């Protein structure tokens, strides 16, 4: 966590913070916006290790298939957070990207 290595993480923070309420985007898209188009996994890594108490809307980030990538209780929490902003998520965690995807 040196000064230089913070750039990717910082960009991810900034991009995720910019996702409007009621919309979602994908790990891959964030990676691309952050300037490293093939670092989709890293976006997940960054969000996984968010400091507790962060107000970043991490729940608005899903995978390319339009599904939540989390499991268990985390899955439930993300689903509730999305439903709370009127995003339609079925029991399988699927979302219609054509309707809720954020276009920057």
Partner DNA sequence: ACACTGACCTCAA
Partner DNA sequence: GTTGAGGCCAGTG
Q: Provide the CB-side half-sphere exposure for 57 (13 A, CA).
A: 20
C-beta of 29: minimal distance to DNA in Å? Answer: 7
C-beta of 45: minimal distance to DNA in Å? Answer: 5
Cα–Cα distance for residue pair 62/96, rounded to 1 Å? 11
C-beta of 85: minimal distance to DNA in Å? Answer: 15
Q: What does the block give as tokens for 68? A: 């939540």
By beta-carbon proximity to DNA, the closer residue of 8 and 100 is 8
What is the sign of the dihedral through the CA atoms of 66, 60, 39 and 50?
negative
By beta-carbon proximity to DNA, the closer residue of 38 and 86 is 38
User: Which residues sit at the interface with DNA, rule CB under 7 A?
Assistant: 1, 5-6, 8-9, 26-28, 36, 38-50, 58-59, 61, 63-65, 69-70, 74, 78
Cα–Cα distance for residue pair 75/35, rounded to 1 Å? 28
Q: Could you give phi then psi for residue 68, rounded to 5 degrees?
A: -70, 140
C-beta of 80: minimal distance to DNA in Å? Answer: 13
By beta-carbon proximity to DNA, the closer residue of 86 and 92 is 92
């Amino acid at each position: 966590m040196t000064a230089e290595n913070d750039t990717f993480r910082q960009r991810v923070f900034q991009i995720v913070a910019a996702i409007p309420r009621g919309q979602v985007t994908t790990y891959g898209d964030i990676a691309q916006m952050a300037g490293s188009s093939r670092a989709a996994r890293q976006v997940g890594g960054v969000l996984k290790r968010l400091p507790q108490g962060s107000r970043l809307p991490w729940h608005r980030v899903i995978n390319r298939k339009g599904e939540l990538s989390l499991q268990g209780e985390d899955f439930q929490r993300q689903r509730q957070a999305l439903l709370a902003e009127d995003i339609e998520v079925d029991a399988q965690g699927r979302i219609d990207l054509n309707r809720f995807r954020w276009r920057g």
